Amino acid sequence: MSFAAPFPAPFGATPSGLPVERWTLRSASGVEAAVLTYGAVLHSLSVPGPGRRPPAGVVLSLPDVKHYATHGAYLGAVVGRFANRIAAGSFTLDGTRHHIPGNDRGNSLHGGADGFDRRVWRAEPCERPDGAASVRLSLDSPDSDQGFPGSLRVSVTYTLTSDGSLTLDYHAVTDRPTPVNLTHHAYFNLSGDPDRGVLDHLLTVDAATYLPIDETGLPLPGTPAPVAGSPFDFTRSRRIGARIAEPDVQLTRAGGYDHCWVLDDRVRPSGDGQLGLRRAARLEDPGSGRVLEVHTSEPGLQVYAGQQLDGGFGDFLGRRLGAHAGLCLETQHFPDSPNRPDYPDTVLRPDQILRSRTVLSFPHLTAVAR
């Protein structure tokens, strides 16, 4: 089936004057996505309801580049060079100590204060045999960028397929060993109305364990903790807000959910001979009937319930984005992995290629198609 090729449009400029583009991808399913070259941001994702009911925007977004450049919530961005936290912004690699600027309670968060979410990426359309709309965004991160060793060439490719699934393919190479952990920081709200929030959404996370944290958001030493019997048990579909206010020390430390779940090791072949995918999560909005499933090749899922959104900025319709307006489902490796030899390795070396895939699908659309 043939689809319209992705196309760019001007979207203003950064505070330093660099032009920014907005690329639009469309699918025969009625799903439409738009991506910015600033931060590789998923600026919008419009998804019909069941029965081809009118579409609604299911990710939080901001009206212009100025807002993306000044807010601190990473809305819709690709974050790196290392997503999540590195303790005290330092790590030792092959005998050399490296220091990353601290930007979160003394730790480095999402690659430092000037991470990939604040860069202008290069964009180009991709031709695919199935004709699906696809755009690749690329970035060159120089040696010592934010303190990380080695030059890194990274890309993320957004592809919107005929059934409305949005695939994110990450690719990176380096000339020196360096830790790399890329993720996507979309805030989902399947109702399309940030005023309704997500506490009544139903969440399933395919994980029997999670990583408890200390007061600064870093994983505690030791093995992952079982979710069974705790407010972190989403092995069966449950309201996000059902237990979020309980006096649990882990909830208190994060102000709610902002933890990494260790995904169950049930990988299915990807069909391309390169990556296997596991289901990470299922999100449902009973009000609209929309359903999102997340599949990934990554071992972890950071679930963040948006409790730090304070209404200090609004979306393109002027709606204030307050606490729990959206939910982040960040597929990634584990926090502070460069300092945790017991975690899956995140060091990329010159003879290696980093490949990672995350697929966002909407089963309520394919169910209608059947």
Q: Is 330 helix (H, G, I), strand (E, B) or coil?
A: strand
- Give the active site residue among 185, 295, 324, 333: 185
| CA–CA dist 139, 152 (Å, integer) | 8
- Give the active site residue among 21, 330, 333, 364: 330
Following DSSP, what letter does each residue of 21-81 receive, concatenated?
Answer: EEEEEE-TTS-EEEEESBTT-EEEEEEEEGGGEEEEE-B---SSHHHHHH-SS-TT-EE-S
Report CA torsion sign: 277, 79, 75, 55.
negative
Tell me, what DSSP letter sits at residue 338?
A: G
| Continuous segment of H or E residues that includes residue 238 | strand 238-239
Q: What is the 3-state secondary structure (H, E, C) of 146-196?
A: HHCCCCEEEEEEEEECCCCCEEEEEEEEECCCEECECEECCEECCCCCHHH
Structure tokens at 235: 């092995």
Place of tokens 């999100």: 283
Count of Cβ atoms closer than 10 Å to residue 311 Cβ: 12
Sort 54 into a burial class: Cβ within 10 Å, 0-12 / 13-18 / 19+: exposed
* Catalytic annotation present for 21: no
Q: Is the distance from CB of 258 to CB of 104 less than 8 angstroms?
A: no
> How many angstroms separate the first and last alpha carbons of the chain?
17
Q: Is the distance from CB of 209 to CB of 121 less than 8 angstroms?
A: no
* Catalytic annotation present for 293: no
Q: Is 241 helix (H, G, I), strand (E, B) or coil?
A: coil
| CA–CA dist 84, 105 (Å, integer) | 13
Structure tokens at 328: 């982040």
Active site residues: 185, 330
